[in-house]
Amino acid sequence: MTDSHTKPVRKAVFPVAGLGTRFLPATKVMPKEMLPINDRPLIQHVFEEAREAGIEEFIFVTGRHKNMLEEHFDFQPELEETLESRGKHDMLEKIRDSEMGAGQLFLTRQPRPLGLGHAIWCAAKLIENEPFAVLLPDVLIQAPKGQGCLKQMVDVYGQNGGNVIAVEDVPKELTFKYGIVDTGGENAPAGSSGMAVKGLVEKPDPEKAPSTMSVIGRYILQPEVFDHLSAFETGAGGEIQLTDAMDKLIGKQPFTAMRFHGKSYDSGSRLGFIEANLAYGSEDDEIGEDVKRVICEMAAKLNKDSMNEAAE
């Protein structure tokens, strides 16, 4: 193992160029990454996960009409002055916590939607010859406090080096929707040092899937992945797939799949977005108990309505 495969992970890439068509018309003007989950936008939840894991440089791969993302993390003097003058110090602290320091936010553009692999390739010159993390903002992972998914991955990276991907099980009949990991039958529990990856398959037919462990949008990768992404080879869906480039590193570098402590939410879908809001809202210190009460009341009403329909 070379030294480059055990360097600290200081940089993270956030692919945020997508159009968010599943949320139209809400995303007609507003980037989907700015849709709120409880009291903060999607992108801030993922930023905080990365920051907790020790990330120092945050690289946004953007597209057209994404300026709001940059503005969200910028210093807002008028807003801070107003909150200060009104004595709203709790809100002021939240605003300041959402700011990035000078020299931390970097932007690059993906001019055309050619796939996740292409989006990551667009950040190559900003990554240079360092290991880096990738976090998909559509995927929120609610984990134990102080132990976010990426922090768990950094701990595994510290033990194994190389490349690390977070995985979780999906129903076998749905493997065609995901990148699936082949561990040769190894099946380690959450909290372990992970499982050696033997292969990766993008969206396989359920009959051919090597396992039910899916890649869920959190990666620690070595810079050699860019050597393969730069070939611009297309895969599933006619797009440049990150999974295909990662697969070519297997056997040449350490490659680990890690089950994480926590639960993921596909916030890029309307149902997953609603589920995430309920989950995060129910854990909120201020409104959590009220959210749980509302959920219980709605469940009781739906159950009563269902029973009445069945009786008719």
Q: What is the pLDDT of residue 1?
A: 40
What is the pLDDT averaged over residues 41-50? Answer: 96
Tens digits of residue pLDDT in 239-279? 788 988 998 899 899 999 999 999 999 999 999 999 999 99
Q: pLDDT confidence of 42, banded at 50, 70, 90?
A: very high
Q: Does residue 79 have a pLDDT over 60?
A: yes
- What does the block give as tokens for 20? 């968010």
pTM for the full predicted model: 0.90
Task: State whether residue 10 is helix, strand or coil.
Answer: coil
**For residue 127, pLDDT beyond 90:** yes
Q: What is the DSSP string of 176-209?
A: GGSEEEE-TT--PPTTSS-EE--EEEES--GGG-
Q: How many CB atoms lie within 10 A of CB 129?
A: 10
* Dihedral of alpha carbons 18, 61, 145, 34, sign: negative
The confidence band for 4, taking pLDDT boundaries of 50, 70 and 90, is: low
> Is pLDDT of 146 > 80?
yes
| 288-311 vs 270-282: helix crossing angle, rounded to 10 | 130
pLDDT at site 55:
96
In contact, 219 and 133? CB cutoff 8 Å: yes
User: Taking the CA of residue 104 as centre, how many other CA atoms within 13 Å lie in the half-sphere pointing to its CB?
Assistant: 15
**What CA–CA distance (Å, rounded) separates 203 from 101?**
39
Write the burial class of residue 95 (CB in 10 Å: 0-12 exposed, 13-18 middle, 19+ buried): middle
Per the prediction, the chain carries an average pLDDT of 90
Residue-wise pLDDT for 99-109, tens only, equals 898 889 999 99
pLDDT at 3 over 90: no
User: What percentage of the chain reaches a pLDDT higher than 90?
Assistant: 59
Strand partners, 161: none
Residue 296 is inside which H or E element, if any?
helix 288-311
Q: How confident is the model at residue 2 (pLDDT cuts 50, 70, 90)?
A: very low
The full set of domains in the chain, from first to last, is 3-268 (3.90.550.10), 270-312 (no CATH)
pLDDT tens per residue across span 186-237: 887 777 778 999 988 888 899 988 999 999 999 999 999 999 998 787 776 6
Mean pLDDT of 9-16: 96
Would you say how long the chain is, in residues? Answer: 312
For residues 1 and 186, the model is more confident at 186
Average pLDDT over residues 123-152: 95
Percentages of the chain per state (helix, strand, coil), in multiples of 5: 40, 20, 40
- What does the pLDDT read at residue 276? 96
CB of 99 closer than 8 Å to CB of 73: yes
Upstream peptide bond of 25 is cis (omega within 30 degrees of 0): yes
Is the pLDDT at 181 greater than 50? The verdict is yes
Q: Quick one: pLDDT at residue 236? A: 66
Quick: pLDDT tens for 167-177. Answer: 999 999 999 98
Alpha carbons 238 and 119: distance in angstroms, whole number: 14
